[in-house]
Amino acid sequence: MTRRVTKAIFPVAGMGTRFLPATKSVPKEIMTLVDRPLIQYAIDEARAAGIKEFIFVTSRGKGALEDYFDHAPQLEQLLRQKGKTDLLNTLESTNMESGAIAYIRQHKALGLGHAVWCARRLIGDEPFAVILPDDVIAGEKPCLQQMVEAYEETGGNMVAAMEVPAEKTSSYGMLDIEADMGAMVRTKGMVEKPKAEDAPSNLAVIGRYILSPSVLENLNNIEQGAGGEIQLTDAIAAEIKNGNGVYGYRFQGQRFDCGSKSGFLQATVAFGLARDDLREDLFAYLHDVVNMGKAAE
Ligand code: UTP
């Protein structure tokens, strides 16, 4: 029987250089889609998947993230006095049970693999999830929940997988497929950011993982790889070499790369259109913009 996944690591120590100058003082994960910061989407997804312990790997300048999960007694009292129960309720999702959240520092930005490794003592000997908050996934059933359900059948390690066009393979870890079972693939290798001609398939890994604690041991032995960083992909690929299963899971849902400007803007439009209170206005605006563009052609 597989062990339940109750811990999740949120690596948020990156510098977010693609959003400079904003990220000079605002952590990328606090940037908002409509009215909720990216980190809130990630936390909601983790909760839906049964996660009970939330481990943030942070760095200098990420204080706003820690504050976000604190109680705000003055603000809450003001809202209560004014009878603004709707707003009070929206604050509730930001509250964390005492002791459920932990912050660990990554002292040097040595890559995603290193960030995950920094949390090793808090993980111990349990399977754990990794969520990259800049990958926001809209779907009926939250992506990590889909993966946890699939993982209960497979055990081993599981990564969220998505088909990408050939010209994009150099932006992702790509899966080498051994067996394709439809929603799930069993992999025989992983390659970090290959050129299109070197990519073993068109299935890319995106920012959701369920990993066995042996990945943390593998990270002890991983040298700096592509881009001078310690790559999580290499530590997962080492699992395959060690004879442990690594599965790719084709999740249901739409993924937005909110680490890029274009992806962030697309997510803003999509989440805006999904909101009853905004849809009509936003749709009318977009309609006008598109028509103006057409007229200009
Ligand atoms: P990115 O590759 O998107 O890097 O990291 P970044 O620094 O966040 O953004 P850019 O490319 O400079 O704009 C993917 C995820 O890994 C985390 C990031 O916080 C992000 O969630 N990460 C990356 C770390 O925690 N530590 C690192 O050393 C590198």
- Do residues 42 and 88 make contact, with C-beta atoms less than 8 angstroms apart? no
Under DSSP, is residue 89 helix (H, G, I), strand (E, B) or coil?
helix
Between the CA of 132 and the centroid of ligand 1 the distance, in Å, is: 9
Residues shown for the chain? 297
Query: Measuring CA to CA, which residue among 112, 9, 15 is closest to residue 61?
Result: 15
Between the CA of 192 and the centroid of ligand 1 the distance, in Å, is: 15
Query: Measuring CA to CA, which residue among 208, 203, 167, 211 is closest to residue 185?
Result: 203
Using alpha carbons, list the distances in angstroms from residue 31 to 17, 27, 96, 257.
Answer: 14, 7, 20, 13
- Do residues 88 and 44 make contact, with C-beta atoms less than 8 angstroms apart? no
Residue type, 266: Q
Q: Residue 19: in which H helix or E strand, if any?
A: none
pLDDT for position 48: 96
- Do residues 65 and 27 make contact, with C-beta atoms less than 8 angstroms apart? yes
pLDDT tens across 174-198, in order? Answer: 999 999 999 999 999 999 899 999 9
Say what the pTM is.
Answer: 0.93
Q: Is the CB of 104 under 6 A from ligand 1?
A: no
Handedness of CA 137, 27, 39, 33 (dihedral sign): negative
pLDDT for position 62: 87
Q: Is the CB of 248 under 6 A from ligand 1?
A: no
pLDDT for position 192: 87
pLDDT for position 226: 66
Q: Is the CB of 115 under 6 A from ligand 1?
A: yes
Using alpha carbons, list the distances in angstroms from residue 204 to 13, 207, 265.
Answer: 23, 10, 22
CA–CA gap between residue 28 and residue 189 (Å, rounded): 31
Q: Which residues of the chain have pLDDT under 50?
A: none
Alpha-carbon 37 to chain mean position? 13
